[in-house]
Structure 1
Amino acid sequence: MTPRLIPFRVLAFALFLAACATPPPVETGPPFESVMVEAKGEANPYKADAVLTGLLERQTLTDDQRARALYARGSLRRQDGDDRRGAVEDFKAMLALAPAHPLGPNAREELEFAETDVETIEAGLQRMLSLSQWFDSMWVLGAHDEAAARYRKSGISPNPAQLADLAQAGFVCMGDETGDKVYTVGDRRDDLEDAYWCPAD
């Protein structure tokens, strides 16, 4: 007896149903709330940014969770995290995702502040600036890699506040002699004695 062939439409429909039945991705790692608490309690703003960035890479977040994480990272970047351009992107993404979210009014207000900062700083970059002034502007905009690379290439020592930012962000490793010495020219300072550029990954 010749076996009956399954019509193509029936087979395609069965495959469609099987695809629809695929279970949603399973969340891995610590629970959302635990990660948010960890980020909020992290004293180093650049490490806190990395924690929130890792959280936002999860595909299992609900819209509410993603909106909250975007707002938290945007607020961090607008303030201690020194990344105004990133803050603008985060607030816009949060508002596009959940415009009626309870944090929406806060996000709109902070977005306005961040956009004003970006416009002011970018306008200032059109003037003649010293390396130190240029670094401060680029750092606050969020161009950390570019700002650090230019200081490293110049051989000029960053000022104490800039050195602290570079160390917190992982560009300067204190006491790690495997990297190049941060001090090459200029005034000697005690805080530069054990400062080395972190080796490239």
Structure 2
Amino acid sequence: MPIRCAILISGSGSGMEAMIQHQKANPSCGHETVLVISDQPGVMGLERASSLGVDARCIPLPQIENRSERRAQHEAMVHEALQSKGVELVLLSGYMRLLTPYLVSRWAPHLLNIHPSLLPAFPGAHAHKDVLASGVSVSGCTVHHVDEGMDSGKVLAQRRVPVFPGDTESSLAKRVKIEEHTLYPSVVDHIIQQTLPQEN
């Protein structure tokens, strides 16, 4: 049976769509997406997931004034949804929330993220802006384990992308996304192949 994956998103879900398309085109890859969760209502990623036949749910933050309690209740709802679908591997793909120890402790090491820079350089939500401001000539993307820090988990794989003179955040992001959309599925393939028992 394929490993059951969930993908957490906050926006358009282009990386999520690339992962699901990879799974559908390669049924022997050993993993399938059974749930997509967005913390933001009305995003394109939810429509994309539904159109691909995947259970797509919005779990927004509850309207609670206390920030810690708000985050705790939100992650408890996410955890319950993951468990209800029998999820075995959680993939963050453009999910713009820093996870708390509650969720990390329950899912690590089966919790991965893809980040649009060559970590440990340029962590955080504004990687492309920071890359361009720094003047470096190479950027890229990184798949890593998720821990309790900001993009600080163990690096699993990276792809390099040149930064050209005159690049904007948009033009750089487009080139990085091309690499993201093939790197992430290939890393998950590799992890699953190592996890599954080998046939004699």
Indicate whether the TM-score tops 0.5. no
Which has the higher relative contact order, 1 or 2, with Cα contacts under 8 A spaced 6 or more apart?
Answer: 2
Higher strand fraction: Structure 1 or Structure 2? 2
Point out the structure with max Rg over C-alpha: 1
TM-score, normalised via structure 1 length: 0.28
TM-score, normalised via structure 2 length: 0.28
Higher helix fraction: Structure 1 or Structure 2? 1
